[in-house]
A = this chain, B = another copy of it.
Amino acid sequence: MNSNKYRKIYQDLSGKIINGEYKEGAQLPSENLLVQSYGVSRETVRKALSLLQTNGYIQKLKGKGSIVIYNQAMNFPVSQLISFEEIKHSLNMDYNTVVESFETVRAKDHKSVQEALNLGDDTELYRVVRSRRDKERVNIIDTDYFIKSMMPGLNEEIAQHSIYDYIEKRLGLLISYSKKAITFEPMTDDDLELFKETMPPYAAVVRSVVHLEDASAFQYNVSKHRASEFKFVDFSRRTIRK
């Protein structure tokens, strides 16, 4: 359906990098060759390559070419906006999601959420608490707040699978960007109960405000991780200097 030429090129090349067809350190075909093989203009090829560079797949070298810098080990909870289901899937992890709580609350009773999503006092929210566990224990506790009126038909069943899938495929909403903050905090009593452990008493906490394509804030997420298991991997580029 989506027939953007540059996206197809991006998909094609990033796919070949991920599956190892182009390995780390390898050189991509030159822009001119790509122009020929895809039958598009140079600017279109360059758009795809820019995206690959922005997302940490390649580095473009003036006068030389584009080389692959993507590295399999990096591909963990990367600093990208992906859902837990997607991470699980891409890593073949054997995690189990349990919906611990699914309730309707009012914005005024959750001030940080109200502020972040810019809501009136009586706006109704879904508050969904989900634990993520492997065979042995709970490693992550996700608490999500959604604006109820934006999420018709959301239920526990859906929450147990992928809410993002429901949002994008069924509601047709486009998730666009998020602002997140990572901190390390002592566990609360509730946390200790869910994690079923008293040590270590610290959790890595990721708070995110997720926005749609039209820039409206629609989700507030608090993701608590067993601190000893937490690893956040990030790729960042130097901003424009001077």
Contact = CB atoms under 8 A, between A and B. Distances in A.
Interface of A: 2, 7, 10-11, 43, 51, 54-56, 59, 61, 67, 69, 71, 74, 79-82, 168, 174-184, 200, 202, 204, 211, 213-215, 227-228, 230-242
Contact of A177 (B2, B43, B59): B59
A21 to B, nearest CB: 19
Q: Decide if the interface of chain A is mainly helix, strand, loop or mixed.
A: mixed
A177 B231 contact: no
A100 to B, nearest CB: 23
Contacts of A235: 177-180
A174 to B, nearest CB: 8
* Identical copies of this chain, number: 2
B234 A182 contact: yes
A25 to B, nearest CB: 9
A82 B176 contact: no
Contacts of A178: 235-236
19 contacts: A2-B242, A43-B43, A55-B239, A59-B213, A59-B214, A59-B215, A61-B215, A67-B215, A69-B215, A79-B236, A80-B237, A81-B239, A82-B238, A177-B235, A177-B238, A179-B233, A181-B233, A182-B232, A184-B204
A178 B35 CA distance: 30
Contacts of A74: 179
Contact of A10 (B7, B79, B240): B240
Contact of A176 (B43, B59, B200): B59
A218 to B, nearest CB: 13
A200 B227 CA distance: 13
A56 B180 CA distance: 12
A17 to B, nearest CB: 13
Contacts of A179: 56, 71, 74, 233-235
